Amino acid sequence: MAPHHIRLELPSRLGQAFRMADGEFDISYTAKLARIELTDEEKKEFGAQLADVLQYVEKLKELDVEGISPTAHPVPLTNVTRVDEVKPSLSQEEALMNAPAQVNQLFLVPKIVD
């Protein structure tokens, strides 16, 4: 099964994990990271959709945004909160079902701080 690639230019801080030697986006690798299985047909379909999104992003880069301050949300929000109430959620077993590693019913992750 040949990998499906599409051309993608990501900022270096975001793109390191997804950048291949030839600078292409590896859909198979991304699906593996997400722990989802895709058929060849799905890889082609999602690859085409992602290419469309990336083309649109490139088009947006052409906009003159001089003098426009960056925003995190289009409408100003202040103290947006909701009542904290218990709702149904995943059981511990369900939450750990796709964990690559676990110990004592907890996620086992690599140590990142010495």
In this structure, is residue 43 part of a structural domain? yes
The total of structural domains in the chain comes to 1
In this structure, is residue 76 part of a structural domain? no
Distance of CA 21 to CAs 17, 42, 61, Å? Answer: 11, 24, 25
Range of the domain at 26: 5-60
Per-residue pLDDT of the chain (114 residues; tens, 9 = 90+): 445 554 444 544 444 444 444 345 678 888 888 899 999 999 989 888 888 888 898 898 899 988 888 887 778 778 878 888 999 999 999 999 999 999 999 999 988 887
In this structure, is residue 24 part of a structural domain? yes
pLDDT of 17: 40
Query: How far apart, in whole angstroms, are the C-alpha atoms of residue 44 and residue 39?
Result: 9
In this structure, is residue 80 part of a structural domain? no
Query: How far apart, in whole angstroms, are the C-alpha atoms of residue 47 and residue 45?
Result: 5
In this structure, is residue 102 part of a structural domain? no
pLDDT of 32: 87
In this structure, is residue 110 part of a structural domain? no
In this structure, is residue 13 part of a structural domain? yes
pLDDT of 93: 92
Q: Is 42 helix (H, G, I), strand (E, B) or coil?
A: helix
CA atoms within 13 A on the CB side of 8: 27
Residue closest to 10 by CA, chosen among 19, 1, 2: 19
In this structure, is residue 12 part of a structural domain? yes
